[in-house]
Amino acid sequence: MVNMNDVAREAGVSRGTVSNYLNKKNVRGDAKHRIEKAIRKLHYVRNTAARDLRASVSSYVVLVIPTVWTPFFSELTYWIQKELNDRCYKVILCISNNQYDQEKDYVKMAEEQRVAGIISISYSQLTQHVRLGIPLVSIEKDETGLFPLISSDNYSGGQLAAKEFYKRGIEQYIFIGSNQASSTAMVARQSGFIDFCNDRNLNYKVYTTPSSRHKKEFHVQHEAILKKVTADSLGKIGIFAYADESALETWRILKELQVRVPEDVQIIGFDGWKIFDNRTLGISSIRQPVKDIASCSVKELDKQIKGEGNGSVLRKMLPISFYSGETTSEI
């Protein structure tokens, strides 16, 4: 494979001069032309891996994410890649499926590759494994408190959901969560919802389903809850699901049960899934500011990499909003 020496020889200059040329340093006119000619003639392509090794830099960023196969994560991945690419970072996509071992392997890989930084959406204690001082920004959860953390304002999201129900005259406030341990985000959503209810003396109930990864039970449990909820009376019931995935399931089952949505029961999800561009799935939902999460994370990571961190560890909560879909009534 043709390298800088070949180019230098062909152009009749030294390797250093070629390097200078490639790095936009000043090079005399005639030497410059001869180098350009040599590059074209030999089809020289610089080896940035070697360059990075020598210069002790890296332009790689590792993205550790549970999946890309869900609207929220695929949108997030889309924006993060874009932001990183705009800043000339390459992204190494690491899908963890929420497996702790996978996550650890990815971090190890990141360290061995001496990557510039890591962005992680992890629900385990991943951040404890970063030894080499690689800059890391965490999205949604970091309990170590050692790294910058970007997340949606989940608590306000829960409040907002309750408030939107309130505006629509809901009398029965239902929260459906999951029994996933350690979901800080979910707990915050629930707290916001409940606090709003308590403040106004509204009737609320909290239910829990297994995580959606246990498909069968997820479904069965959901159905049981909904049957119970809709047994007594209809018409003023509002169900706040901790995530769109759950809200969709709720909607589907209610259809099966012949319960009219939103006339009999109203539903609000969380995430604000968009299939692409602006195509939602119809459910009303608390929308996470996905693009902002991406740009904020990347901006912060970039700062860390460039050593511009001001010492204090950033904790940033981004504002959510309500998307009014087909599962809540007009007001």
| Binding stretches for DNA (CB under 7 A) | 1, 3-5, 12-17, 19-20, 22-23, 25-28, 30-32, 46-47, 50-51, 53-56
Residue 199 touches which of a copy of itself, DNA, none (Cβ within 5-8 Å per kind):
none
Binds a copy of itself by CB under 8 A, chosen from 31, 92, 234, 317 = 92
Q: Which residues contact 175 (CB under 8 A, 6 or more apart)?
A: 190, 193, 194, 204, 205, 206, 207, 239, 240, 242
Residue 203 CB, nearest approach to a copy of itself (Å): 31
Judged by CB, which is closer to DNA: 49, or 231?
A: 49
Instruction: Tell me: does residue 85 bind a copy of itself (CB under 8 A).
Output: yes
Residue number with CB closer to DNA (56 or 278): 56
Sole binder of a copy of itself in the list 24, 26, 145, 277 (CB under 8 A): 277
Selection from DNA, a copy of itself, none that 85 binds (CB < 5 to 8 A by kind) is a copy of itself
C-alpha pair distances (Å), 152 with each of 149, 216, 287, 321: 10, 30, 9, 10
- Vertex 105: Cα angle to 100 and 111 (nearest 5): 130
Q: What's the closest the beta carbon of residue 269 comes to a copy of itself, in angstroms? A: 13
Residue nearer to a copy of itself on the CB measure, 24 or 43? 43
In the complex with a copy of itself, the residue whose CB is nearer, 115 or 194, is 115
* From the list DNA, a copy of itself, none, partner contacted by residue 43 (C-beta under 5 to 8 A by kind): a copy of itself
Picking from 85, 89, 61, 65, the residue whose alpha carbon sits closest to that of residue 75 is 65
CB 323 within 8 A of CB 287: yes
Start-to-end C-alpha separation, the chain: 69
Residue 129 contact partner, candidates a copy of itself, DNA, none, CB within 5 to 8 A by sort of partner: none
Report CA dihedral (248, 252, 253, 254) to the nearest 10 degrees: 100
Residue 75 belongs to what H/E stretch? helix 71-86
Site for a copy of itself in 239-268 (CB under 8 A): 245, 248
CA dist., res. 125 & res. 111, Å (int): 17
Size of residue set near a copy of itself by CB under 8 A: 49
CB nearer to a copy of itself: give 194 or 290.
290
* H/E segment holding residue 72: helix 71-86
Q: Would residue 148 be called left, alpha or beta, if left means φ above 0 and alpha means ψ between -120 and 50 degrees?
A: beta
Q: Binding to a copy of itself (CB under 8 A): which residues in 104-143?
A: 108-109, 111-114, 131-132
Distance CA 81, CA 29 (A): 39
User: Residue 287: in which H helix or E strand, if any?
Assistant: strand 285-287
Among residues 14, 70, 125, 329, which is the contact residue for a copy of itself, using CB under 8 A? 70
How far apart (Å, rounded) are the C-alpha atoms in residues 145 and 312?
Answer: 11
Q: Which does 13 bind (CB under 5 to 8 A by kind): DNA, a copy of itself, none?
A: DNA
Residue of 205, 208, 135, 213 whose CA lies nearest to 178: 208
Nearer to DNA, 33 or 227 (CB): 33
Residue 11 Cβ, how far from DNA at the closest point, in Å? 8
Per CB under 8 A, the list member of 23, 47, 198, 321 interacting with a copy of itself is: 47
Q: Look at residues 141, 69, 153, 135 and name the one whose alpha carbon lies nearest to residue 298.
A: 135
Residues that bind a copy of itself (CB under 8 A): 1, 43, 45-50, 52-53, 58, 60, 63, 67-71, 74-75, 77-78, 81-82, 85, 90-95, 108-109, 111-114, 131-132, 215, 245, 248, 273, 275-279, 281
